């Protein structure tokens, strides 16, 4: 056996081999080791020589796959087959002397080669261990990077699909045109549907697809972007478009971004168009935006686009850097592979040289080693081949990646340049995976600040509102669309808020699992605000129109009534919709219709303000004068609306008429004495009988006196109407005043006999001269109304704490109709109006004087028999101590008796004597109380014993007392009229102005009233 040992010389050569060699006997006894091997295993040669291999390496735990890493198996195979066995690369970590002796990851390639003797038996086994740590690590790295790249590719593809889906859903129009001809290369469905529903434009050049844009600014803009590579951003860009090629062109407005598309060489190869239509909003906004807002807006937008440009620049730089870094890495990997190759080649060359030297002397070993060398060469070749393969794979990968990168880049650009915010959130914590700057701006951040962060770490204030939505979409996988959603986020000290249209799209991996949510946000703050403002202003407008206390209406440009306020409906007694449907012509007095139609037609034609007057039929069937006015509301010179009002001018019309009447009468009254005076003067100038002159002069003087009095009366009326009549209140004796007045009038009319029948001595506090004026007026009226002369009876007596003065004549009398008219003149029509007619100014002045003394006047008259004029001045108010009985079923005082009629389930009321506002209100209150208490719905109201005139209480009775009584249960009211004309007229007046639904009927006898009430109700 020993003879088989190599000799010393051989061993010396072996020992100096530069690789790790172990020389074993076939019994696996270590014969020798190369120095390199000893160095590797850090053992002395003596410590291992002559030892059994596995005694030396017992610590074989890591020698995977089996306990010894397969070495025993390999050696046995060599022994049995006598063939070289190459073991797979094994990991065996060794202590690292540069790292405190810690184990360092190392990989080894082991070859066991038999050296056969002449008989073909195994003489030695050469065990060679080659460290391949570097290669293995490179390979692993490469593999890992390949994995990463593969994953990236896969992700890119997923992303691209997502993007494509998203761009389908973006509420914006996206198109890509390429080449100098600007050929449509990509359009999203919105672009197709909203702009060209019936046209095929993909693959066509811009001019072929849209010939109508030639010569339009839009075409020049696109050309400029392509030529200069400068981005173009414009809001509310006007684009005239036809929906059908060659069809009619209409104006569309777009918020638009034209983004140049660049290839790797940074050359522009196309333009990305991103726009969304804002045609609808433009009108609304234009209405509302003042110049200032526009300026501010323009400034802000300029700032924004600067920022965007800046961000874009940064992004470009960043992606350039990334690209460079990747390139560098790849180059580095390639370089190290190359270097490794070179090293291997060098080593092989070295080793060959060494072997050549030693094998010249040592034939056998030489041959053996030569064989080993060949093996090594083969191994080297293999390694080179692997390297090449790797390099090729990498090249391919790079190409694929480039292709994919380009495709992905396109979509990344789309995202980056999109004028809608886009953000992809993944993971349970909703981390920002992808985000563009538009999104960033919405919350006051840049894309860089957000990228890779947990979104709600940055904007925790929005978590409550938006996290549930995001989770819902992620959990259900159902996309969600939310419009006009308000949002608020904080940025430093600032609060950013607005409105968004949101699209939530689940983000799916290749295998369909949802790992995140893609959100598209379109900023609609301006639109929402504009709309809200518009709504608000419209609401305010309507509210205002309804609040205006007169008729307000609007009509369309062609004159059709389209709005009336509630006042119109109330006035005309029809629903607003009914009035709008029927139009004004239904309510205008037929006599005024053509004037109205002409005026309205003229205004509609010339667009100038409209004004006319007409009588309108009111709820109660009466016609009232209205002044109708309207002004056109123009938008851009185009009339869009007429805003009109109808003002009730009945009062003014009446006043005007009365004023005209007044002037006409005054003029007549003044000219009449003047006529006489002038005539007397002319006669005097011509008379041939001087003895008649004195008579003419006297008569002329009378007329001058009459004129003077008339002028004084007119001045009084003017004073009264101006509220400037001055009264000097002093106590005086009324009977004396009456007597003096009679004396004065009697002197001037010798045909009449004025008799003072009764004159109670009463001291009254008032203006004696003014009251004497009243007395004079009554007396002269009596004289005037009894032209045939005769008696005039005067009475002045105390009654019911008042003084009542009457003047009775037996003349022509006043007809009932005329009496009603007189009452109307003095009591029904507004007090500010001027009024007087046949009776002259005197009665008007008298009524005013009496009113100022708290008094009233009234007239009783029978045509053909004469009239009695009364006035009443109160001395004191009614004393409530006069109440006789007072409980819930019976009440009685000086002016009223109320009793509960149980059998008829009603109140029986009897008014007595003169009534004024105090007595009417007091009596009315007792009636209300008893009606409530006895729960009845009928009243028999007897005015048979009422005297005088209580017109000052009529408004109160109609507008306040009747509604209160109705509230308390009153349904039927039988009213037995007073024989006194002015009292009856007062009652009629209160019923005329009455509000509510109480049924009221006038009677002249108690029996008729009783019968009517019996038949009412149940």
Partner 1 sequence: MKKKVLIIENDQVIQEIVTYILESEGYEVTGVRYAPEHLENIHADLILLDEWINRREGHMLCKEIKTISALAKVPVIIFSTAANILDIVATCGADGYVQKPFNLDILLAEIQKFLPLSSSYSQLT
According to the binding rule CB under 8 A, does residue 179 interact with partner 1?
A: no
* CB closer to partner 1 out of 529 and 672: 672
| Residue (787 or 1017) nearer to partner 1, CB | 787
673 interacts with partner 1 by CB under 8 A: yes
Residue 249 pairs in a beta bridge with 242
Residue 922: exposure state from Cβ atoms within 10 A (0-12, 13-18, ≥19): middle
Between 202 and 670, whose beta carbon lies closer to partner 1? 670
Rg (CA), the chain: 60
Contacts with 210 (C-beta within 8 Å, 6 or more apart), sequence order: 201, 241
**Using CB under 8 A, which of 407, 533, 597, 672 touches partner 1?**
672
Between 702 and 952, name the residue whose CB sits nearer to partner 1: 702
Buried b (16+ CB within 10 A) or exposed e, 80-98: eeeebbebeebebebeeee
Nearer to partner 1, 427 or 838 (CB): 838
Six-digit token string for 501: 């249209």
Taking CB under 8 A as the rule, does residue 243 contact partner 1? no
Binding mask 415-454 for partner 1 (x = CB under 8 A): ----------------------------------------
Whole-angstrom distance, CA of residue 27 vs CA of residue 78: 12
Task: Please state the closest distance from residue 861 (CB atom) to partner 1, in A.
Answer: 15
Question: CB of residue 710 vs partner 1: minimum separation in angstroms?
Answer: 12
* Structure-derived torsion over alpha carbons of residues 521, 525, 528, 530, reported in degrees to the nearest 10: -150
Least separation in angstroms between residue 661's CB and partner 1 is: 12
Shortest separation between residue 813's beta carbon and partner 1, angstroms? 12
SS3 563: strand
Nearer to partner 1, 195 or 859 (CB): 859
Please list every residue from 674 through 713 that binds partner 1, using CB under 8 A: 674-680, 682-683, 686-688, 699, 702-703
Beta strands at 480-491 and 561-564: parallel, antiparallel or unpaired: unpaired
Query: Among residues 263 and 667, whose Cβ is nearest to partner 1?
Result: 667
Q: Binders of partner 1 among 647-666, rule CB under 8 A?
A: 664
Write down the least CB distance from residue 785 to partner 1, Å: 10
Of 671, 679, 713, 685, give the one whose Cα is nearest residue 699.
679
Q: Which of 671, 748, 886, 933 binds partner 1 (CB under 8 A)?
A: 671
CB of 665 to partner 1, least distance (A): 9
Whole-number Å distance between alpha carbons of 782 and 792: 7
Q: Whole-number minimum distance, CB 863 to partner 1, in Å?
A: 11
Residue pair 525/281 in contact by the 8 Å Cβ criterion: no
Task: Identify which of residues 682 and 753 has a Cβ nearer to partner 1 in the complex.
Answer: 682
What value, to the nearest 5°, has the Cα angle with vertex 321 and ends 317 and 326? 150
The answer to the question of residue 667 lying near partner 1 (CB under 8 A) is yes
The H or E element spanning position 329 is helix 291-361
Backbone φ and ψ for 515, nearest 5 degrees, come out as -115, -5
Sites for partner 1 among residues 766-795 (CB under 8 A)? 787
Report the length, in residues, of the chain: 1018
CB of 672: closest distance to partner 1 in angstroms? 5
Smallest distance from partner 1 to CB 814, Å: 12
CA distance 609 to 632: 7
Residue 668 is a binding residue for partner 1 (CB under 8 A): yes
Question: Applying CB under 8 A, which part among 79-87, 557-565, 670-678, 911-919 lies near partner 1?
Answer: 670-678
* Binding map of partner 1 across residues 819-858, x = CB under 8 A, - = no contact: -------------------x--------------------
Q: Does 862 bind partner 1 (CB under 8 A)?
A: no
In the chain, count of helices (H) and strands (E)?
31, 37
Dump strand ranges (E) for 599-751: 610-617, 623-635, 638-648, 730-733
Whole-angstrom distance, CA of residue 328 vs CA of residue 334: 10
Q: Which residue has the tokens 């300026």?
A: 295
Least separation in angstroms between residue 684's CB and partner 1 is: 11
Q: Which two tokens stand for residue 592?
A: 């005024």
Q: Which is nearer to partner 1, 98 or 688 (CB)?
A: 688
Give 543 or 705: the residue with its C-beta nearer to partner 1.
705
Tell me which H or E stretch contains 658: helix 650-686
Q: How far is CA 298 from CA 225, 340, 742, in A?
A: 21, 62, 91
Report, in Å, the least distance between residue 670 CB and partner 1.
8
The percent helix, strand, coil of the chain (3-state, each to 5) is 50, 25, 25
Q: Which residue, 260 or 673, has its beta carbon nearer to partner 1?
A: 673
Q: Which is nearer to partner 1, 227 or 692 (CB)?
A: 692
Q: In whole angstroms, how close is the CB of 667 to partner 1 at the nearest point?
A: 6
Q: Report the residue number, 765 or 815, with the smaller CB distance to partner 1.
A: 815
* Alpha-carbon span 453 to 916, nearest angstrom: 88
- Minimum Å gap between C-beta 686 and partner 1 is 5
CA distance 274 to 256: 6
Number of residues that bind partner 1 (CB under 8 A): 23
Binding positions for partner 1, rule: CB under 8 A:
664, 667-668, 671-680, 682-683, 686-688, 699, 702-703, 787, 838
């Amino acid at each position: 056996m020993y003879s088989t040992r190599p000799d010393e010389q051989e061993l010396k050569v072996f020992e100096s081999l530069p690789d790790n060699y172990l020389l074993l006997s076939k019994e696996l006894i270590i014969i020798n080791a190369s120095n390199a091997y000893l160095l590797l295993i850090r053992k002395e040669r003596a410590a291992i020589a002559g030892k059994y291999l596995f005694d030396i390496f017992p610590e074989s735990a890591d020698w995977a796959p089996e306990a010894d890493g397969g070495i025993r198996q390999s050696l046995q195979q060599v022994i049995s087959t006598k063939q070289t066995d190459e073991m797979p690369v094994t990991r065996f970590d060794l202590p690292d002397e540069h790292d405190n002796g810690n184990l360092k990851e190392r990989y080894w390639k082991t070859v066991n080669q038999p050296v056969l003797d002449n008989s073909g038996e195994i003489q030695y086994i050469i065990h060679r261990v080659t460290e391949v740590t570097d290669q293995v690590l490179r390979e692993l790295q490469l593999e890992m990077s390949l994995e990463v790249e593969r994953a990236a590719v896969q992700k890119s593809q997923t992303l691209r699909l997502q993007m494509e889906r998203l761009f389908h859903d973006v509420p914006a129009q996206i198109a890509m045109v390429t080449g100098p001809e600007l050929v449509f290369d990509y359009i999203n469905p919105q672009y197709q549907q909203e702009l060209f529903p019936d046209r095929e434009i993909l693959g066509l050049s811009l001019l072929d697809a849209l010939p109508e844009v030639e010569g339009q600014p839009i075409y020049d803009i696109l050309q400029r972007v392509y030529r200069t590579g400068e981005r173009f951003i414009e809001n509310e860009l006007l684009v005239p478009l036809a929906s059908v090629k060659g069809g009619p062109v209409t104006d569309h407005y777009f918020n638009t971004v034209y983004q140049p598309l660049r290839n790797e060489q940074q050359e522009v190869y196309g333009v990305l168009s991103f726009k969304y239509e804002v045609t609808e909003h433009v009108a609304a906004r234009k209405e509302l935006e003042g110049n200032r807002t526009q300026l501010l807006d323009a400034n802000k937008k300029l700032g924004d686009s600067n920022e965007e440009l800046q961000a874009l620049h940064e992004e470009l730089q960043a992606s350039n850097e990334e690209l460079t870094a990747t390139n560098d890495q790849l180059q580095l990997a390639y370089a190290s592979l190359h270097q490794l190759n070179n090293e291997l080649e060098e080593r092989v060359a070295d080793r060959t040289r060494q072997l050549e030297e030693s094998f010249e002397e040592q034939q056998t070993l030489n041959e053996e080693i030569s064989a080993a060398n060949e093996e090594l060469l083969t191994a080297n070749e293999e390694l080179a081949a692997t390297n090449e393969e790797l390099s090729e794979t990498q090249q391919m990968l790079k190409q694929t990646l480039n292709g994919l990168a380009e495709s992905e880049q396109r979509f990344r650009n789309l995202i980056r340049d999109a004028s809608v915010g886009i953000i992809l959130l993944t993971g349970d914590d909703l981390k920002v995976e992808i985000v563009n700057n538009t999104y960033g701006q919405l919350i006051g951040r840049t894309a860089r600040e957000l990228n890779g962060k947990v979104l709600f770490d940055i904007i925790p204030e929005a978590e409550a509102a938006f996290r549930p939505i995001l989770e819902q979409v992620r959990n259900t996988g159902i996309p969600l669309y939310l419009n006009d959603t308000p949002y608020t986020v904080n940025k430093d000290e600032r609060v950013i808020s607005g409105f968004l249209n949101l699209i939530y799209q689940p983000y799916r991996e290749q295998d369909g699992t949802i790992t995140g949510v893609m959100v598209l946000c379109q900023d609609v703050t301006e639109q929402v605000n504009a709309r809200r403002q518009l709504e608000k202003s419209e609401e305010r407008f309507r509210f205002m129109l309804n609040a205006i206390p007169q008729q307000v209406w609007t009509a369309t440009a062609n004159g059709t009534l389209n709005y009336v306020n509630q006042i119109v409906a109330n006035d005309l007694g029809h629903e607003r919709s009914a009035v709008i449907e029927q139009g004004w012509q239904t309510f205008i007095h037929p006599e005024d219709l053509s004037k109205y139609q002409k005026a309205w037609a003229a205004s509609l034609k010339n667009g100038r303000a409209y004004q006319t007057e007409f009588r309108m039929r009111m709820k109660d069937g009466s016609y009232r004068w209205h002044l109708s006015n309207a002004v056109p509301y123009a938008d851009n010179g185009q009339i869009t609306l007429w805003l009109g009002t109808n003002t009730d001018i009945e009062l003014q019309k009446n006043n005007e008429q009365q004023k005209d009447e007044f002037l006409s009468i005054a003029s007549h009254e003044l000219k009449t004495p003047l006529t006489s005076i002038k005539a007397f003067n002319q006669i005097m100038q011509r008379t041939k009988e001087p003895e008649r002159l004195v008579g003419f002069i006297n008569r002329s003087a009378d007329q001058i006196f009459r004129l003077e009095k008339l002028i004084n009366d007119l001045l009084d009326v003017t004073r009264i109407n101006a509220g400037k009549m001055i009264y000097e209140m002093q106590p005086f004796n009324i009977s004396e005043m009456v007597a003096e007045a009679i004396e004065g009038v009697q002197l001037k009319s010798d045909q009449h006999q004025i008799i003072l029948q009764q004159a109670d001595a009463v001291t009254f506090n008032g203006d004696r001269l003014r009251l004497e004026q009243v007395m004079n007026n009554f007396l002269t009226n009596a004289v005037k109304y009894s032209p045939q002369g005769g008696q005039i009876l005067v009475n002045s007596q105390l009654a019911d704490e008042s003084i009542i003065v009457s003047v009775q004549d037996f003349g022509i009398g006043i007809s009932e109709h005329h009496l009603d008219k007189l009452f109307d003149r003095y009591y029904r029509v507004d007090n500010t109006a001027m009024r007087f007619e046949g009776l002259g100014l005197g009665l008007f002045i008298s009524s005013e004087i009496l009113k100022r003394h708290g008094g009233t006047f009234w007239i009783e008259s029978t045509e053909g028999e004469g009239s009695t004029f009364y006035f009443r001045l109160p001395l004191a108010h009614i004393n409530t101590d006069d109440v006789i009985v007072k409980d819930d079923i019976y009440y009685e005082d000086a002016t009223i008796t109320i009793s509960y009629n149980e059998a008829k389930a009603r109140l029986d009321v009897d008014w007595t004597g003169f009534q004024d506002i105090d007595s009417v209100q007091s009596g009315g209150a007792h009636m209300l109380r008893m009606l409530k208490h006895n729960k009845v719905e009928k009243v028999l109201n007897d005015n048979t014993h009422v005297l005088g005139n209580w017109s000052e209480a009529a408004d109160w009775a109609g507008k306040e007392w009747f509604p209160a009584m109705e509230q308390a249960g009153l349904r039927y009211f039988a009213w037995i009229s007073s024989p006194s004309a002015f009292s009856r007229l007062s009652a009629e007046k209160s019923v005329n102005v009455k509000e509510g639904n109480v049924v009221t009927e006038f009677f002249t006898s108690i029996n008729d009233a009783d019968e009517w009430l019996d038949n009412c109700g149940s």
